[in-house]
Structure 1
Amino acid sequence: MQTQTGSLLHQDHMATIESLQNLEEFLGRQRGAPVLDETVKAFLAALGGTLRQEVEKHFGFEENHLFPEFTRRGETGIVMMLTMEHRTILPLALRVADLADAAVAAGAFGEQDWRDFKDAGVELVEREIFHIQKEEMGLLAAISALVDGDTDVRLAQVYRETVG
């Protein structure tokens, strides 16, 4: 059974996966630093926003609201594993977002910034898609099993207010 909270997290995951797949395709097409025409600038700006949404708001919701519910029920293993992954993904996603924003502001990637963006982007795609797959298979099922209806309604409301 899908909970409201699980459904909201799933929707966010699907949007993030789409952005990560677009990033992967973008990186795969480039042989060198891309020319930042309006289409590329729009892509990079949207990418930065999506990454910040995912890592700051989504991770924050999980860590500050959802994971404490799991911990209260003695389910610390999944909480520890996902929190450790958040600690790896967070700085990587913010680095990609910052490099994308800087390139848009400057109108171009510097040579080193492009290499950094590409390396961090490739690593981010791999790590975050794997992380989302774990959450889709484990976390969403755990929410259904561990969170009662009233708590689900409350968490879903908190999610809507904090994540959007």
Structure 2
Amino acid sequence: MFPTTRIGSLLHRDHMATVEALEALERLLSKNRKTPPLDAALKDWLIWLAGLLRAEVETHFGFEEDRVFPLFLAQGQTGIVEILSQEHETILPMARHLAAMAEAAVAAGRFADADWATFRMKGGELIERELFHIQKEEMGLLAGIAALIDPATDAALADAFAALER
């Protein structure tokens, strides 16, 4: 499916960037069962990952909840909003915790073995939940947006979302 609205395209682009990051995280976790040393490249990547996770769950989720979900509710589409809102509530603290763990490891110059084990476990859980969540949004939310909004609303949403990303 390819989004047919500007805002759908922007949300889709965010989703794909998050999927790529989660796939990279999955590769890191699967090839490093034991605590990896934090070289400069891994430190930089962890800082980037933490920023992307925070942007996804704070900016992206916030935009959907504040600007997109009300459009669905106004049309009586409560089911999808309820499901996605509940998932946001679950994913938000998970992503923030993983981002904080990554930042703490970078600040300390290493992962303690117990912290790495927790990071691997929490990272795996986040990957699973977030990928499934993105699939739902790609199939339901983006299609719904295309069906529910007019071109002027689409333009206003796209402009508002683009402004958040600056």
Q: 1:2 aligns to what?
A: 4
- What displacement does 1:145 show? 0.3
**Counterpart position of 1:45:** 47
In structure 2, the partner of 1:68 is: 70
Task: Show CA shifts across 1:103-158 (max 9, x none).
Answer: 00000001221111111100000000010011111111000001111111111111
Q: CA RMSD in A?
A: 0.9
Deviations 1:40-62 (A, max 9, x none): 10111110010001000000000
2: CA distance, partners of 1:31 / 1:67: 40
Equivalent position of 2:89 in the other structure: 87
Structure 1: runs of 5 or more not aligned: none
1:162 Cα deviation from its structure 2 partner: 1.9
- How far the C-alpha of 1:77 sits from its partner, in A, is 0.8
Distance in structure 1 (CA, Å) of the matches to 2:159 and 2:72: 18
Please say if residues 45 and 101 of structure 1, whose CA atoms lie closer than 8 Å, have aligned partners that are also in contact: yes
Q: Name the counterpart of 2:135.
A: 133
Aligned residue for 1:142? 144
Name the structure 2 match of 1:102.
Answer: 104
Cα-to-partner distance string for 1:18-70 (whole Å, 9 max, x where unaligned): 00000000000102111000111011111001000100000000001110111
Tell me the number of residue pairs that the alignment of Structure 1 and Structure 2 aligns: 164
CA distance in 1, matches of 2:33, 2:129: 23
Contact 1:33 1:111 in 2 (8 A): yes
One-letter code aligned to 1:130: F
One-letter identity of the residue aligned with 1:28: S
1:20 and 2:22 equivalent?
Answer: yes
- Normalised to the residue count of structure 1, the TM-score between the two structures is 0.97
Task: Indicate the percent of aligned positions where both proteins have the same amino acid.
Answer: 54
Unpaired runs of 5+ in structure 2?
Answer: none
Distance 1:59 1:162 in 2: 12
Native 8 Å contact 1:58 1:163 kept in 2: no
| Distance in 1 (alpha carbons) for counterparts of 2:31 and 2:45 | 14
2:9 maps to amino acid: S
Read off the aligned partner of 1:121 and give its amino acid letter: G
Where does residue 58 of structure 1 map in the other structure?
60
Whole-Å Cα distance in 1 between the matches of residues 9 and 31 of structure 2?
A: 33
* SS of aligned partner of 2:13: helix
TM-score (norm 2): 0.96
